[in-house]
Amino acid sequence: MQAKNKHKGFTKVALVGSGLILGLMLSLTYSAVAEKMTKQQFPIDDLRAFAEVFGKIKSDYVEPVEDKKLISEAISGMLTGLDPHSTYMDPDAFKDMQAATQGEFGGLGIEVGMEDGLVKVVSPIEDSPAFAAGIKSGDLIMKLDDTPVKGLSLNDAVKRMRGKPDTSIVLTVLRKNEPKPLTFTLVRAIIKNKSVKYKMTEPGYAYARVTQFQEHTGEDLAKAIKTMHDENKGPFKGFVLDLRNDPGGLLNGAVGVSAAFLPKDTLVVYTEGRAADSKMKLTVNAENYVSSSTTSAYMKKNNLNPNNPLSYSRAIADNDYINDLPDDLKTVPMVVLINAGSASASEIVAGALQDHKRATLIGIRSFGKGSVQTIMPMNNGAAIKLTTARYFTPKGRSIQAKGIDPDYIVDDGTDQSYNIHEADLTGHLSNPKDPQAGVAKKSDATTPAKEAAKDKLNEKKYAEPAGPIEPTSKEDLQFAQAMNFLKGKPVVVAPPAKVEAAKVDAPADK
C-alpha cells in the first residue's frame, strides 16, 4: 500500500506480505518519538529494571558482550513479542528486504518466521533454490550446516542462510509426518522473482499467475494482459488468476491487480489502526496503485516539481496503466485460485473480487493474515517492521486468523497436513469480527480410528510427487476445475482420494 502525503512530500509504503518481504517506509526521528512519549506515562520503573538487567549482563555474564549486541537483541525481543510479523532488521537485513520488493535479492528463496526456537518456513519462493529442492510450507529448520538453530535469533539464522551465489548450505529439516529429519543441500543464488507469469492456455482462455506482490506487479500484469489480448485477437472467453502460494508483498500491487478487473472508484480494501494515517480506504484510483518510483522518475524526466500537487497528479494520470486495458476485462468470466499459501495481499485481491461477485474462488482456505506492517527506517541504518493496522475486505470481513474460504473447495490431491495458517503462529493477532477465529475447538478433534483410517489411506493415495506440481499441467487439479467452471462444466469439489477418504471415515465413526 502506498499512501501519499502531497503536502509534506513523502511517501509511505505498507506491507501485507508474510515472512520477510519488506519495503521502504517513512523514518522515525528522535524528536517525533520524544513528542509521543511526553503524551504518555513514561514507564520509569520498567526502564530501571531494564537498566538493572543490562548492568548485570555487562558485569556478571560469563563472557564480555558488546553494548550494541545487547541493545539490538533487546529491541528484537521487544518487537517479536508483539506478534509473528513485527520484527527488527539490522542494516544488512533491511537492504536485502528493500531489494526483495524490487524483485531481486540473494539467498535461498524462503519466506521464514520463528516457531519454538526453530526457523519455520512460511513459503518457498517460486523458481528459487529452496522451491526446486522441495522445501515446503510448515517445515522447521533445525540446523544450518552444522550449527543448531536453537539459540539463534531469526536475523542470525537469516544471515547464515544468506551468502555469495554458487555457495552451498545444508539445511536439516523437521517435517510433519516424517519419522526422521530431512537434509537438503541448497546452492545459494541471486533470486530473480518474476512477479507475473502468464500464457494463453487455449484459444480464448487467459491465465496469469502472481507469485509475489512487488512494486511493479500491477504494471507487469497489465502488460501481460495486453500481450495475451493481442495474441487472442479478441475478447477473452475466460480468465484464471492464480494466487496460490503467493505470500503477499506490497499493498499497492494488490490494489493494482484488483483494479484491472473492477470498475473505477470501487472499494478494494480498507484499513483500521490506532494512528490516524493507518485508517484508509483504498479504491480503484490511480493514486492507490501507481508506484512512487514510477511517478518520481516521470517527474524527474519531465522536470516537474515533486512538491507541486498538479505535477504529482499529472504524473499519476500519465502512468495509469489500467486505462489502456481492454474493456472486456471488467466483465470476462473469471476464476481466482487460492490455497493455504495465499496470504495477505493475495487475500486482499481474492476477498475484493469475491465480495464484488467479480470472480469465483476455487481452491482451499487461504493463510489468514489480515494485518498491515509498516517499515520504519531508523537513524542507524536499521529498520523496524511494525504491525500498524488490520485490513478488511469491501464488505467488512476480517480474514485475520480466519482466511478466505473459496466458493468451491478443491484441493490439489496431495497431503495437506503440512500446511500452516496464521492461526497456527504463536502470538497471532485476534480477529476483531470473530474473536473465536483460529481457536481450536473440541469438535475439531477426530477419533483414533478415523485418524488411523486416514493415515492408511494417505500412505496409499498421497505419495509425494517428484517435485512441485506445475501450474496448468495435467496434475494441476485445481486449474482443471477452474477451466471446467469457465466452460460451464460441473466442478469436481474433491479429488478421487478425498472421496474415498470419506468412505473410509464412515465405518470408523460407527
Catalytic residues: 344, 355, 369
Identity at 200, one-letter amino acid code: M
Q: How far apart are alpha carbons 129 and 67 in whole angstroms?
A: 37
Q: In 10 A of CB 206, how many CB atoms?
A: 25
Q: How far apart are alpha carbons 347 and 372 in whole angstroms?
A: 12
Exposed, middle or buried, 436 (CB in 10 Å: 0-12/13-18/19+)? exposed
DSSP per-residue letters across 329-370: GGTS-EEEEE-TT--THHHHHHHHHHHTT-SEEEES------
The CA R_g of the chain, rounded to the nearest whole Å, is 24
DSSP per-residue letters across 440-469: --GGG---HHHHHHHHHHHHHH-PPPSSPP
3-state DSSP assignment of residue 3: strand
What cell was used for 108? Answer: 535461498
The DSSP secondary-structure symbol of 393 reads -
What cell was used for 414? Answer: 496431495
> What count of residues does the chain have?
510
State which H helix or E strand residue 183 sits in. strand 182-187
Question: Of 403, 266, 293, which is closest to residue 344 (Cα–Cα)?
Answer: 403
Q: How far apart are the first and last CA of the chain?
A: 52
What cell was used for 369? Answer: 493474515
Q: How far apart are alpha carbons 24 and 113 in whole angstroms?
A: 20
